[in-house]
């Protein structure tokens, strides 16, 4: 085959706080990997979804934000939030949550992987012992906003909130998770449930897991109630390969998982629209970290690793793998580490070290 190679268009949004410091390091490493593996990338930079933009314009994003970034192949996002100046419900709901909803990013994806040279809070665990993915349903379930409050401020006060599961919503996240499991060597999927206590929606979830599993005869699957599942994350992290959960259960597991693998500064995530009708967002798990912003000491590895997830999502597996290997080697050599990992390297030095490792 001949013809022009595809050039990916990436929307870059640094946002607030350390987002502005780690994004340039992520781009440095992505560019090194792209150059080495012949991937053509074009970056468009945007200053919205930040407190600075809000201060000037009275809103987090321009009215035509969807036209500005909706046609890009992916969005590379730093962090949003500056609680001293603007409440989180305005900054988050005015940016990231809008992306999730309007770009139908129904799968939230986080790796849980113990990296060499990073101490795990789980005693005795070595790299290789912990290596799985958490897949969270991102659009419905327990976070439905369906419900209400009656007889407020009386003895009869009555409050409800419903869990909403649709067949479309449940099946599409399960399909995404089974596909991921099928692509991995262990081919193992674990479903988070609580059908012994939540008697209508969770048995439905279990039923759909069973139905979906029939399409993936090579994938071994099991299920655990969320209470014992969280215990097993800590006691037996080596049991897992792909773990899928509803919006609430997935939320809990996707924080617990990375916590088992050391610092929040290295964990990446994707908010994914698997069909590719809209761009997916790749961002570190950490926030804008106002307490250390402006000092140049943030760990850029969560941002860099998010870049590897983005390249993988775009289908550029070699470039993605080169970044993950470079992160492993940089962390493993222990010579250059940011303060959260007990070293004294700054953000830029760490980014440059990973970029050189890629080259
Ligand atoms: P969110 O914005 O998701 O609500 P948060 O504001 O509660 O999160 P973070 O901004 O993630 O929390 O910061 C939590 C703590 O972790 C802070 O003390 C911060 O300094 C530290 N931290 C977060 N990210 C990094 C990083 N990349 N490098 C070093 N320390 C970090
Ligand atoms: Mg915050």
Indicate if the pLDDT at residue 103 is higher than 50: yes
Say how far apart CA 238 and CA 106 lie, in whole Å. Answer: 27
- Mean predicted confidence (pLDDT) in 296-305: 97
Q: Which ligand is nearest to the CA of 79?
A: 1
Please state the domain extents for the chain. 1-105+279-358, 120-261
Tokens for 289, please give them. Answer: 């970290």
The pLDDT score that the predictor gives to residue 262 is 82
Which CATH superfamily hosts domain 120-261? Isopropylmalate Dehydrogenase (3.40.718.10)
Q: What is the mean pLDDT of the chain?
A: 95
- Mean predicted confidence (pLDDT) in 47-53: 97
Q: 335 falls in which pLDDT band (50, 70, 90)?
A: confident
How far does the centroid of ligand 1 lie from the alpha carbon of residue 110, in Å?
17
Closest C-alpha to ligand 1, atom 17 = 289
Say how far apart CA 211 and CA 102 lie, in whole Å. Answer: 29
- Mean predicted confidence (pLDDT) in 309-322: 97
**Mutation test residue for ligand 1: of 292, 344, 348, the one with most atoms within 8 Å of CB:** 292
300 CA closest ligand 1 atom index: 27
302 CA closest ligand 1 atom index: 27
Indicate if the pLDDT at residue 251 is higher than 90: yes
The pLDDT score that the predictor gives to residue 2 is 45
The pLDDT score that the predictor gives to residue 1 is 47
Buried/exposed code over 52-82 (b: 16+ C-beta within 10 A; e: otherwise)? ebbeeeeebbeeebeeebbebbbbbbbbbbb
Give CA separation, 343 vs 115, 254, 284, 336, in Å: 16, 27, 20, 7
Closest C-alpha to ligand 1, atom 6 = 287
Taking the alpha carbons of 326, 332, 333, 337 in that order, is the dihedral positive or negative?
positive
Tokens for 36, please give them. Answer: 């080495």
Closest C-alpha to ligand 1, atom 19 = 289
Closest C-alpha to ligand 1, atom 2 = 287
Q: Which ligand is nearest to the CA of 303?
A: 1
Say how far apart CA 245 and CA 144 lie, in whole Å. Answer: 15
Please write the tens of the pLDDT for every residue from 180-191.
999 999 999 999
Helices (H), the chain: 19-36, 51-57, 65-69, 88-93, 96-102, 167-182, 201-213, 226-235, 247-259, 301-313, 317-333, 347-358
Whether 284 contacts 304, CB under 8 Å: no
Higher pLDDT, 122 or 191: 191
Q: Which ligand is nearest to the CA of 345?
A: 1
The pLDDT score that the predictor gives to residue 89 is 87
Domains 1-105+279-358 and 120-261 belong to one CATH topology: yes
- Ion ligand 2 neighbours (CB, 5 A) are 81, 287
Q: Which ligand is nearest to the CA of 83?
A: 2
Provide the terminal-to-terminal Cα distance of the chain, rounded to the nearest Å. Answer: 28
CA dihedral 43, 44, 45, 49 (to 10 degrees): -120
DSSP-derived letter for residue 164 is B
Closest C-alpha to ligand 1, atom 25 = 265
Q: Tokens 């994004």 — which residue?
A: 23
Q: 231 falls in which pLDDT band (50, 70, 90)?
A: very high
Residues having CB within 6 Å of any atom of ligand 1: 18, 81, 264-265, 286-289, 291-292, 298-299, 302, 340
Indicate if the pLDDT at residue 18 is higher than 90: yes
How far does the centroid of ligand 1 lie from the alpha carbon of residue 67, in Å?
31
From 66-80, 148-162, 205-219, 250-264, the region with the lowest mean pLDDT: 250-264
Closest C-alpha to ligand 1, atom 21 = 289
Pick the CATH number of 1-105+279-358 from 3.20.20.70, 3.40.50.720, 3.40.718.10, 3.40.50.280: 3.40.718.10
81 CA closest ligand 1 atom index: 2
The pLDDT score that the predictor gives to residue 123 is 86
Say how far apart CA 75 and CA 44 lie, in whole Å. Answer: 10
The pLDDT score that the predictor gives to residue 4 is 60
Q: 76 falls in which pLDDT band (50, 70, 90)?
A: very high
- Mean predicted confidence (pLDDT) in 112-133: 91
Whether 267 contacts 284, CB under 8 Å: yes
Indicate if the pLDDT at residue 5 is higher than 80: no
pLDDT above 70: percentage of residues in the chain: 99
Taking the alpha carbons of 321, 327, 329, 332 in that order, is the dihedral positive or negative?
negative
- Mean predicted confidence (pLDDT) in 244-248: 97
How far does the centroid of ligand 2 lie from the alpha carbon of residue 69, in Å?
24
Please write the tens of the pLDDT for every residue from 272-287.
999 999 999 999 999 9
Tokens for 49, please give them. Answer: 């979804």
Higher pLDDT, 234 or 333: 234
């Amino acid at each position: 085959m001949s013809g022009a190679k595809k050039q990916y268009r990436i929307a870059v949004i640094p946002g607030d706080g350390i987002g502005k410091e780690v994004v340039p390091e992520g781009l440095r490493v992505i560019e090194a990997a792209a150059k080495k593996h012949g991937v053509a990338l074009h970056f468009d930079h945007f200053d919205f979804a930040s407190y600075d933009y809000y201060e000037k314009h009275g809103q987090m994003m321009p009215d035509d934000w969807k036209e500005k970034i909706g046609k890009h192949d992916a969005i590379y996002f730093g962090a949003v939030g500056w609680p001293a100046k603007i409440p989180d419900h305005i900054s988050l709901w005015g940016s990231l949550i809008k992306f999730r909803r309007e770009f139908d990013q129904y799968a939230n994806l986080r790796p849980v992987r113990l990296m060499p040279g990073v101490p795990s809070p789980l005693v005795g665990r070595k790299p290789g012992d912990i290596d799985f993915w958490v897949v969270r349903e991102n659009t419905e379930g327990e976070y439905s906003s369906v419900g209400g409050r009656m007889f407020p401020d009386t003895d009869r006060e009555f409050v409800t909130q419903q869990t909403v599961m649709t067949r479309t919503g449940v099946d599409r996240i399960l399909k995404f998770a089974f596909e991921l499991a099928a692509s991995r060597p262990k081919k193992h999927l674990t479903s988070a449930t609580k059908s012994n206590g939540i008697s209508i929606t969770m048995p439905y979830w279990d039923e759909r897991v069973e139905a979906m599993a029939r399409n993936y005869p090579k994938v071994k699957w099991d299920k655990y109630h969320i209470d014992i599942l969280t215990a097993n994350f800590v006691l037996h992290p080596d049991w897992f390969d792909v773990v899928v959960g509803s919006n609430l259960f997935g939320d809990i597991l996707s924080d617990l998982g990375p916590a088992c693998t050391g610092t929040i500064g290295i964990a990446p995530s994707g908010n994914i629209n698997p069909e590719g009708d809209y761009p997916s967002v790749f961002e570190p798990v950490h926030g804008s970290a106002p307490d250390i912003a402006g000092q140049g000491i943030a760990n850029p590895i969560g941002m860099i690793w998010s870049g590897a997830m983005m390249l993988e999502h775009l289908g550029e597996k070699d470039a993605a793998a080169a970044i993950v290997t470079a992160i492993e080697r940089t962390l493993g050599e222990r010579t250059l580490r940011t303060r959260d990992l007990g070293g004294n390297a700054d953000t830029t030095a760490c980014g440059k070290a990973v970029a050189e490792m890629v080259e």
